Structure 1
């Protein structure tokens, strides 16, 4: 973040009032539409529970959100930079185009100057931004049953190798290996805190992670190795159910999760995860609290490792574990998400519901 963001309620009030003080320095990501906007956007205002606020365009794009076509958040910061404004207009006009350095120089621009400008405004290069746009479209094409070559072309990758490399960085698997069906099926799940990847079998949810989590490719490889099953594409019943439950959760309707979860890790890790699921909605615990509940007060570090090994975000609520001094501690999805999840769940406290009763 470029500066500490005000509270969610303060920023939501600013969004409703179209307060120009935050224009260009804070953006709102709307989970129900998958779009991010300026706080001065003239569009109809979403519910507060469907909003998350970020301080950079890069955070919005990496979480899977697309720029609004009414308020043009990418353009707002570049009104005084004609080169950046022109490139953004070209990108919006052809989001599937595969841009190369030679394309930029052919327009008469110096590569190093453009690179510095985009990094200054958006904390990412122009080519990185274009690649982020294309990759999401490629994944969605695959999940809709398109062949790899069609998904590659839909997402603007000129060569199979480039598409394969970009896709592998996200999922740790080549797109050609991801066939519809199979024991483990991956699906894209949009939420108000950013897009997630869900992996389910016919009966259980095995993984649920935000797409920008750095550990995601490694987790997917380990999951496939442990179950001796390649990753496929699809939305089995557990994924359908968790989609509905996440929508209700972020809409403020229910904090109960009934999706059956596959067990993870050793017996100790599973016991830690069980205790995490027992933390009431709207409350938090420290690692030391969990260790004492286990009857092993000296196992604080082991509890922290088991907490970090969780690969089913939200449903196994590792975000409810904080430092003994009340500070936020590491969270694979980002501390800003951890803070927002805690804030969301506090709104449930007057009518606390069970976290889950689903089977393992």
Structure 2
């Protein structure tokens, strides 16, 4: 199904319901007349007959029609709930962040590895084993940065030989365990949102990257960030915690302005464009031509478009608010349907005087 939300008719919505497509997340809900329940279109429950449903554009509309929220997909929550299997394994990871997971460890829990792989791919865009490996390394690096002993980190990580442990750290960090204290290391975290997981990367300087997992250029952006700034490991960081809180507030409609330090690298021209993006008011749009005029370089429309495309901090640096002069939804690497979703979401929560 084409996820660019240009026309919304009953058949398109019903097809999305049948395929559990999340393209209309937050934009449309299905109401089941026979049960009196309303759901997300991506709900995993058994699909009702076409004749027994109607679609509405908001939770308020569904409730006004007398429907109650589904207990399975929980449409009133700002985030899509993780699958039960994913949530269970994240709990296991949190119990012992340094545990070395493999197929045998998964099997001991009575879990099918292929089912677990699909669950994590669906929720985070990566496999469980890779997710666990990256988070285990983050815990190890944090211990070593704080003066932990290398031999203890090695044993905690499940490595019998020091050479194997050193090589594993070198491969991921670019230096030996001894050199970690002297190298700049960024922190990364997967952040859940109603329209897909986002990867946040930060250090004490600020937020360097915030991108949707599906962005094609994300692997290249990660490698470029590593080369220009430093290694990246998965672990928590105060700026990532603040980012997660403020993103949740944004998606709940209670936050319109972010106050998170931005530290993404770029040319002086790119930085001027990104700074101007942050002046576009919540729920409004601006054309690329207007952006060029705003930075006092009206002939640089194409350069402005390229700078918008190179923005590595989505939503907070709101490149989604820039559209074509004809009103078209163009130029969004996070996928056009997300751009329209974000703009529609913001318009819902604009103060009434701004909407008039």
Question: Which of 212, 226, 229 does residue 228 from structure 2 map onto?
Answer: 226
Matches within 5 A, 1:64-143: 67=83, 94-96=111-113, 132-143=127-138
Contact preservation (8 Å) 2:188, 2:233:
no
| Residues 1:94 and 1:253: Cα distance change in structure 2 (over 3 Å) | same
1:145 Cα deviation after fit: 4.6
In the alignment, what sits opposite 1:45?
Answer: 74
Contact 1:186 1:200 in 2 (8 A): yes
Give the 3-state SS of the residue equivalent to 2:188 in structure 1.
Answer: strand
> Paired residue for 2:29?
12
**How many angstroms apart in 2 are the aligned matches of 1:302 and 1:27?**
38
Whether 2:212 is the aligned partner of 1:197: answer no
- Contact persistence 1:141–1:151 (CA under 8 A): yes
Correspondence for 1:112:
none
Q: How far, CA to CA, are the matches of 1:222 and 1:130 in structure 2?
A: 20
1:261 aligned residue: 262
- Number of the residue aligned with 2:20: none
Q: How far apart are residue 148 of structure 1 and its match? A: 9.6
Cα distance in 2 between the residues matched to 1:39 and 1:321: 39
What CA distance in whole angstroms lies between the structure 1 residues aligned with 2:197 and 2:349? Answer: 23
5 Å-filtered alignment, 1:1-360, equals 1=1, 6=13, 11-14=28-31, 18=37, 26-27=41-42, 37-38=44-45, 42-43=71-72, 45-47=74-76, 49-50=78-79, 67=83, 94-96=111-113, 132-145=127-140, 174-175=171-172, 183-192=184-193, 193-227=195-229, 229-350=230-351
Report the Cα offset of residue 205 of structure 1.
1.1
Unmatched runs of 5 consecutive residues or more in structure 2: 6-11, 14-23, 48-69, 86-106, 142-152
Cα–Cα, structure 1 residues 48 and 13, in superposed 2: closer, same or farther, change >3 Å? farther
Scaled by the length of structure 2, the TM-score of the pair is 0.60
Structure 1 CA distance, aligned partners of 2:156 and 2:228?
31
**1:175: how far off?**
4.1
In 1, the alpha carbon distance for the partners of 2:126 and 2:328 equals 36
Give SS of 1:14's match.
strand
How far apart, in 1, do the equivalents of 2:190 and 2:82 lie? Answer: 15
SS at match of 2:317: coil
Contact 1:186 1:235 (C-alpha < 8 Å) held by counterparts: yes
CA–CA separation in structure 2 for the residues paired with 1:148 and 1:291: 53
Maintained 8 Å contact 2:288/2:305: yes
Aligned pair in 2 of structure 1 residues 207, 149: CA closer, same or farther (>3 Å)? farther
When structure 1 is superposed on structure 2, of 269-278 and 246-255 the one drifting more is 246-255
Distance (Å, rounded) in 2 between the aligned partners of 1:344 and 1:295: 30
Q: 3-state DSSP class of the match of 1:50? A: coil
Gaps of 5+ in 1: 29-36, 52-64, 70-89, 100-117, 119-123, 154-159, 165-172, 354-360
2:297 aligned counterpart, secondary structure: coil
Q: Which residue of 1 is the match for residue 95 of structure 2?
A: none
User: What displacement does 1:202 show?
Assistant: 1.3
Deviating more after overlay: 265-274 vs 344-353:
344-353
Please report the RMSD computed on the Cα atoms of aligned residues, expressed in angstroms.
4.2
**Higher Rg of the two aligned structures:** 2
State the partner residue of 1:105. Answer: none
Q: Distance in 2 between matches of 1:277 and 1:225?
A: 27
Native 8 Å contact 1:196 1:210 kept in 2: yes
Corresponding residue pairs, total = 263
How far residue 303 of structure 1 moved from its aligned partner, in angstroms, is 0.4
Distance 2:38 2:199 in 1: 34
Deviation, structure 1 residue 174: 5.0
